[in-house]
Amino acid sequence: MCGRYALARSTRELASLFDGREAPGLGESYEPSYNLAPTRLAVGLALVSPGDRVLDTYRWGLVPAWAGDPSIGNRLFNARAETLSTSKAFSDAFAHRRLVVLADGFFEWHAGPDGRRRALYFHRPDGAPLALAGLWERWRDPTHGRHEPLYSCTIVTTGAGPDLAGVHDRMPVVLEPALLDRWLDPGRHDPHDVGALLRPAPAGTLVHHAVNPRVGDVRNDGPDLVAPYEDHELRLFD
């Protein structure tokens, strides 16, 4: 967790909601998706200078600067909050390159009494976008150093809060708007200071509903994947 999420809002709306500005060319690189998976382009908010929040895209799956090739990012799409400061892959980004990954909501799968896994969609009760704690990195191919760098990111996870109780034991870190600058500020290096933000969301932060099992296939996309879904087969045997 988190391994799949949705973001279909326009970057213009996101920039307005989060008091930021769009990076040049963002409109060309951004593709809305109701089923965004690792290695796809995520939209993140970074603080480039005091008061200057910039919205841009990052490949989901962090590629550390020291990596020999970008394939390592395929499994580094989540970072555990408990080990950020000691992880070889994430410690430098945690100290200097923190990010807010924006999402409309995220998916989790839960096994019911019959053993079947059902997809659930978690989102804010008022429909506002989620600001998820993340990290970003800049990587250059060591064999072709003159090529454009690859910008990538990861989503930070923590223990599950009450809104995910019984569904999963972990969840992405959800940041409230008033805490964004504290998380994003590259001048804050004390891991105890920024690490204190990495806690489970309190009860009522999220609500969820069942969604179409088609979301399990990353090739599927569209608004029907986040719409409430009634499992007729489940009802038949209730």
Catalytic machinery residues = 2, 108
d(CA 139, CA 162): 37
CA-CA distance, 154 to 94, in Å (whole number)? Answer: 11
Q: How far apart are CA 89 and CA 223, in angstroms?
A: 35
SS3 for the chain, per residue? CCCCEEECCCHHHHHHHCCEEECCCHHHHCCCEEEECCCCEEEEEEEEECCEEEEEEEEECCCCCCCCCHHHHHHCCEEEHHHCCCCCCCHHHHHHCEEEEEECEEEEEEECCCCCEEEEEEECCCCCCEEEEEEEEEECCCCCCCCCCEEEEEEEEEECCHHHCCCCCEEECECCHHHHHHHHCCCCCCHHHHHCCCCCCCCCCCEEEECCHHHHCCCCCCHHHCCCCCCHHHHHCC
d(CA 208, CA 1): 15
Rounded CA separation 220/24 (Å): 29
